[in-house]
Structure 1
Amino acid sequence: MPDQEPPTGGVREVKSAARTVELLEVLAARGDRPARLRELALELGVPRSSMYALLQTLIDRGWVRTDTTGSLYGIGIHALLTGTSYLDSDPRVRAVRPFLDEASDALGETLHLARLDGTDVVYLATRESHAYLRTFSRVGRRLPAHAGALGKALLAQDPARLPAGPLEQLTPRTHTTREALAADLAEVRERGYAVDREESVLGITGFGFALRCDDPPVDAISCSVPLARLTEEHERRIVAVMREIRTKIEAVAVRASGAAQWR
């Protein structure tokens, strides 16, 4: 009998694969907090015996690591290798890196490239500030899109991507209502860039610029600076340099003919 599609017309989820991905995502989200077998089994709703077998398989392949007692589990080194491969193979990241260097030389502040992923932005590249007082940043960091300059720059280009439900509050200045966020995004569209004044991190202001290489844009660049170092003149300088950098990136980051069109 010929194969038939599932009633929904889509492809059936492979439960073992889905469970593996969910486990890796849970471990990755815990950061430096290793998990015990019981915790993982409860969180994913999996029998301990099944979870133990899955963990041992992933340990053998380098995706999960365990401590010397064999009772604590964390994300393994192969996750890093895969993430590095993603960055190295992404043409947009490669195209933007030299311009982040240029902006870093010009401004001396912290620079970011991030991509919209659902309701979050994920940092794909960073350049640290030259000053002792600097913002915290790292590749792979996730941040709610509504709470920072990078995310607001992207959300403003497509209001349909506004997150549904309650908005997470990171600081007392984070937008927590859709009305307040929508009003801010209208200003972003009029201004041409987003501003985050202590909405994601207290004491830090960010300036975000969507890269208009896609429709709607999915990538953005930003400059973050401590309030203690932000003057009106410095802010004008940041905006001018970042606008110029965005224009340069957009001129070279057009999709190459024949390149894979990722989605």
Structure 2
Amino acid sequence: MSEPGGVREVKSAARTVELLELLAARGDRPARLQELADRLGVPRSSMYALLQTLIAHGWVRTDITGTTYLDSDPRVRVVRPYLDEASQALGETIHLGRLDGRDVAYLATRESHEYLRTISRVGRRLPAHVGALGKALLAERPDAELPAGPYEAATPNTHTSRDALAADLASIRARGYSIDREEGVAGIVGFGFALRYDNPPLDAISCSVPVARLTPGHEGRIVAVMREIRAKIEGASAAAGGAVHWR
């Protein structure tokens, strides 16, 4: 007989414990997503979701590059070399994020050569209206899909009303990329570019730079480099066989 609460809930709790025990037994040896899924006999998508939850709550950490558990994601594998290229060209922090409901999950990060530290880390989730990644992806969708608001404010510059966000999204569509001027983190400006290998796009890349280092010339170079990187990623994805439905 099923116990109160339902068998699915008990199995989920047991799977979480089994995963934590498996990781603890490995010590400092990293594990890949597919390896963990195989060991516990669960779908890769389920393992990914479970790991992301544990990462977000601080029970599991990624390796120094922040990509240990995402190596089996074909999108991340395609994008990763281009994140390195953008980081080397610009010397700024580069992110890859994925829209998941009303949030953006950070899938990969390359830190600034200047050792800039922002709040965004792999496994972290932020509301899509807050930063460059999320706004770039929201702009690829009709405004009718926006929630009514008011929205949570991360800084005094965050758009907290539907009308203000919709006006910004219209500018993003006309411009071709998003700009986050201290809306997610005080002192940080971000530039976001949707990756159109899905329709509508689910993934985006961004470049984050401190306000103190952002001159008009540097901003122009960031936009030019990130546009080129986006084109390279989309071309590489098409060459790899188009859309990958990895979930």
- TM-score, normalisation: structure 1: 0.70
Contact 2:62 2:122 in 1 (8 A): no
Match of residue 218 from structure 1: 202
The change in CA–CA distance for 1:260 and 1:175 in structure 2 (over 3 A counts) is closer
Match of 2:245 in 1: 261
Q: Return the offset for 1:135.
A: 2.9
- Output the aligned Cα RMSD: 3.0
Q: Which residue matches 2:125? A: 142
Higher relative contact order (CA 8 A, sep 6+): 2
Identical positions, percent: 66
Instruction: Report the Cα distance in structure 1 between the residues aligned to 2:244 and 2:166, rounded to whole angstroms.
Output: 34
TM-score (norm 2): 0.74
CA shift, 1:75, in A, is 6.2
Deviations 1:199-220 (A, max 9, x none): 0000000000000111100000
- The residue type paired with residue 62 of structure 1 is L
Secondary structure of the residue aligned to 1:170 is: coil
For 1:69-108, list aligned pairs within 5 A.
76-77=59-60, 87-108=70-91
Tell me which amino acid in the other structure corresponds to 1:90.
D
Report how many residues are paired.
208
1:128 and 2:126 matched: no
Q: Against the structure 1 CA distance between its residues 90 and 132, is the aligned structure 2 distance closer, same or farther, given a 3 Å change threshold?
A: closer
Distance verdict in 2 for CA 1:134–1:62, change over 3 Å: closer
Structure-2 change in CA distance of 1:17 and 1:86 (3 Å)? farther
Deviation at 1:250, TM superposition (A): 0.6
Structure 1 equivalent of residue 178 of structure 2: 194
Task: State the structure with more CA Rg.
Answer: 1
134-143 or 231-240, larger mean C-alpha shift = 134-143
For residues 237 and 210 of structure 2, what CA distance do their matches in structure 1 show? 30
Aligned runs of 1:1-263 on 2, under 5 Å?
15-18=6-9, 58-59=16-17, 62=20, 76-77=59-60, 87-159=70-142, 160-254=144-238, 256-257=240-241, 261-262=245-246
Secondary structure in structure 1 of the residue aligned to 2:238: coil
CA contact (8 A) 1:112 1:223 kept: yes
Q: Which runs of no fewer than 5 residues in structure 1 stay unpaired? A: 1-13, 22-53, 66-73
SS across alignment from 1:254: helix
Provide Cα deviations, 1:208-247, integer angstroms capped at 9, x if missing partner. 0000111100000000000011111110010010001001
Unpaired segments of 5 or more residues in structure 2? 24-56
Cα distance in 2 for partners of 1:192, 1:104 equals 21
8 A Cα contact 1:58 1:64, kept in partner: no
Alpha-carbon deviation of 1:162? 2.0
Looking at structure 2, the residues matched to 241 and 136 of structure 1 have their Cα atoms a distance apart, in angstroms, of: 23
The ranges of structure 1 where at least 4 consecutive aligned residues each deviate by more than 6 angstroms after the TM superposition are none
Structure 1's 75 and 123: CA in aligned 2 closer, same or farther, altered over 3 A? closer
